[in-house]
Amino acid sequence: MFLYDSEQYRKDLQEAVFQVKDIEKLKGSSVLIAGAAGLIGSYVADMLLTANELLDTGIKVLAMGRSRERLSARFQGWSRENLVLVEQDVAEPLDLDFQVDYIIHGASNAYPQAFSQDPVGTMMSNITGTLRLLEYGRAHGARRFLFVSSGEVYGQGDVSVEAFEEAYSGYVDILNPRSCYPSSKRAAETLCCSFWKQYGLEAVIVRPCHTYGPNTTGKDNRATAQFMENVGKGQNIVLKSAGSQMRSYAYVADCATGLLTVLLRGLPGEAYNLAYEKSRVTIAEFAQITARLSGRQVVFENPDKKALEERSPVPRQVLDSRRLEALGWQGQYTPEKGIQHTLEILKGKEGGLS
């Protein structure tokens, strides 16, 4: 995997490990990561394996995904001493027999094209998949269950609200198939809290903001991923709207450290926004920063019907992260720093993202 050949990627991983307070509490434990081939899950797995190298933590990482081929390609840089690749669709009955201490559920479609083409599958990975993993954790004595939710659960909020706190709830059009993602994330959160109340399984929830990084998969058609794809192919950056929507953004290293902080320090039955106050920009500003750092230009194209259907209806999605920061987490990456690191790492990859 080209990522492991990048000095910048390895350095980011190493620094991220030391950003997580109490990470040594995971020493000797087993961690099941559902969605381990994805953007967030794969970085968390890399972090835990890096912790083994730096701190001799002996964490056993069970990396679960739907495709063994993709998992093998993604983690080919690691030995199998503390890494087990698990081919499993979370929406299907689980054919597993592992003793697990911690479960991180990040298996979900997370990009607009998937919401449009597979709304049912998107809902099932979040609802049925969450149920199956919660049941597995309960049956196998898991200490903690971490659900990777999304800032999209806030729906279309009041644009006058500076930043959404965890108790905020905006409008979601439940009859719009595009709502398959936020609606199922909401339902899965309630399911997690219900397992905590009824069965005592310590479930915690993280709501990441828009996350980006060099390990984005080629299927991801979110704007930030497409900007990096443009740069990787030597193209100008294509913007298919005015890009006026304001967003919280997180470089994937910040996202991963936030997840592990909540896993280790979060209160059961609670949700935590994951965002960095110094990383709030519009989509157009994100594109402009990427263009400036890569020596490209931003060009505008009229969106086709498909792009319009997939577009998020949310004009502003800025998250208040004070609850997470109270656990000891602090973001490290401004958009400039995160984009610069992403571009530097992608220099080792021909043809954009894969």
Domain CATH code at residue 33:
3.40.50.720
| Nearest CA-CA partner of 75 in 26, 35, 36, 31 | 36
Most confident stretch, 112-116, 195-199, 306-310: 195-199
How many domains does one find in the chain? 1
Closest to 256 in 3D by CA, of 25, 40, 104: 40
Looking up tokens 């599958």, which residue turns up? 121
C-alpha to C-alpha distance for 182 and 196, rounded to whole angstroms: 21
Residue 222 lies in a domain: no
> CB within 8 A of 49, min separation 6: which ones?
59, 61, 78, 82, 83
126 lies in a domain?
A: yes
> 228 lies in a domain?
no
d(CA 338, CA 249): 10
Longest distance between any two alpha carbons in the chain, whole Å: 55
In a domain? residue 198: yes
Q: Which two tokens stand for residue 239?
A: 């913007």
Residues near 171 by beta carbon (within 8 Å), at least 6 away in sequence: 155, 156, 157
Residue 304: its pLDDT value, please? 67
pLDDT at 38 over 80: yes
Tell me: pLDDT of 89 over 70: yes
Please name the residue ranges forming H helices in the chain.
7-19, 39-55, 68-74, 112-117, 119-126, 128-139, 180-199, 223-232, 252-265, 283-294, 305-310, 322-325, 335-346
Residues 6+ apart with CB under 8 A from 322: 165
Write the pLDDT tens digit of every residue in 155-164.
999 989 999 9
pLDDT (0 to 100) of residue 170: 95
Please give the structure tokens belonging to residue 332. Answer: 């490290």
Say yes or no to pLDDT of 353 above 50. no
Are residues 44 and 104 in contact, defined by beta-carbon separation less than 8 angstroms? yes
CB 67 within 8 A of CB 98: no
Check: CB of residue 237 under 8 Å from CB of residue 297: yes
| 181's tokens | 């993602």
What are the angstrom distances between the C-alpha of 77 and each of 52, 83, 323? 14, 11, 36
Torsion angle (degrees, nearest 10) of CA 70, 9, 282, 182:
40
**CA atoms of 2 and 245, how far apart (whole Å):** 33
Residue 289: inside a domain, yes or no?
Answer: no
State the Cα–Cα distance between residues 24 and 41, nearest whole angstrom.
19
pLDDT at res. 233: 85
Provide the mean pLDDT of the chain.
93
Domain that holds residue 191: 2-213+250-278+318-335
Residue 145 lies in a domain: yes
Confidence at residue 344, expressed as pLDDT on a 0 to 100 scale: 94
Q: Could you tell me if 306 and 312 are in contact, meaning their C-beta atoms sit under 8 angstroms apart?
A: no
Q: Return the DSSP state at 194.
A: H
Type of residue at 348: G
pLDDT for the residue numbered 77: 85
* Residue 307 domain flag: no
- What's the pLDDT band for 221 if we cut at 50, 70, 90? confident
What is the band of 352 on the pLDDT scale with cuts at 50, 70, 90?
Answer: very low
Helix (H/G/I), strand (E/B), else coil: 102: strand
Phi, psi angles (nearest 5°) of residue 105: -100, 100
* Region 293-316 average pLDDT: 76
158 domain-assigned: yes
- Residue 314 pLDDT > 80, yes or no? no
